[in-house]
A and B are shown apart, each in its own frame.
Chain A
Amino acid sequence: MIFETLMIIALCLLVVAIMCNLYRIVKGPSSADRVQALDSVGINIIAGIAVFSVFLHTHAFFDLILLIGILSFIGTTAFAKFLERGVVIERKR
């Protein structure tokens, strides 16, 4: 009973963290702020899935942790290359 309450408290803290990052996504003056906050939201979602799988006591969601980690990194890398060079995949010349 206490354990489930602690898990719900942890989920609420993660929701507060995602809300703060959403504020930075909406307000952030430069694009790099927004990309950084989106990456942070992805990492918080990974933690949320882990807490939720403990809360439901199931093993079924562990693939999602790996998947969201990889997708978040690839998205952040593509955005960083786009902001730096103007293209994501460069042509050979």
Chain B
Amino acid sequence: MSGSGEVIGAVLILIGAIFSVISAIGNVRLPDVYTRSHAASKSSTLGVLSTLMGTLLYFLILDGYFSIRLILGIFFVFLTAPVAAHMICRSAYRHHVPLAESTVQDELKDYYMENENLDSEDEEQVEVVEGGIKPLTVD
């Protein structure tokens, strides 16, 4: 009985760690902010979910200890990591961080120019530095 708990925990934790490494390699190698955010949010979330599930099953099978805090942690990470990635990507797009050079289509651009370009009259205030952004002056 205790052997099965150790096997299940070790397999899930190793899968989670390998997914985290894959996500970090994608975060290093991919060309622009949006693809890096894709790699960093999705597979990193899957990796930490697998690791936490392995921990939960390890303590459940080996000790009979069911941790509600760990369940809350799994739920919270699953809920908030994609939201954080969405907010970062939106702020990056609104401050004109350039896409990769191999991009062939930008479907958001037309919509953005029509509907969301509220600061078009002071467009010259937005300085597009080399890959960097400068916050708008707020009065």
Interface residue ranges, A against B (CB under 8 Å): 3, 6-7, 9-11, 13-14, 16-21, 23-24, 29-33, 35-37, 39-40, 43-44, 46-47, 50-51, 53-54, 59, 62-63, 65-66, 69-70, 72-73, 76-77, 79-87
Q: Complex: how many Å from CA A37 to CA B9?
A: 27
Question: B76: shortest Cβ distance to chain A, in Å?
Answer: 5
B residues in contact with A66, CB < 8 Å = 69, 72-73, 76
**What are 14 A-B interface contacts by the 8 Å CB criterion?**
A3-B6, A13-B21, A14-B20, A17-B23, A20-B24, A24-B28, A31-B132, A32-B33, A32-B88, A36-B88, A40-B23, A50-B48, A50-B55, A76-B84
Interface residue ranges, B against A (CB under 8 Å): 6, 9-10, 13-14, 16-18, 20-21, 23-25, 27-28, 33, 36-37, 40-41, 44-45, 47-48, 51-52, 54-55, 58-59, 65, 67, 69-70, 72-73, 76-77, 80-81, 83-85, 87-92, 94-95, 97, 130-133, 135-138
Q: Complex: how many Å from CA A23 to CA B29?
A: 11
Question: Sorted from nearest, which 8 A-B pairs have the closest CB atoms?
Answer: A29-B131, A20-B24, A32-B92, A84-B91, A17-B24, A80-B87, A13-B17, A86-B135
Q: Is the CB of A39 within 8 A of B13?
A: no
Q: Complex: how many Å from CA A89 to CA B45?
A: 28
A residues in contact with B130, CB < 8 Å = 29
Q: Is the CB of B76 within 8 A of A54?
A: no
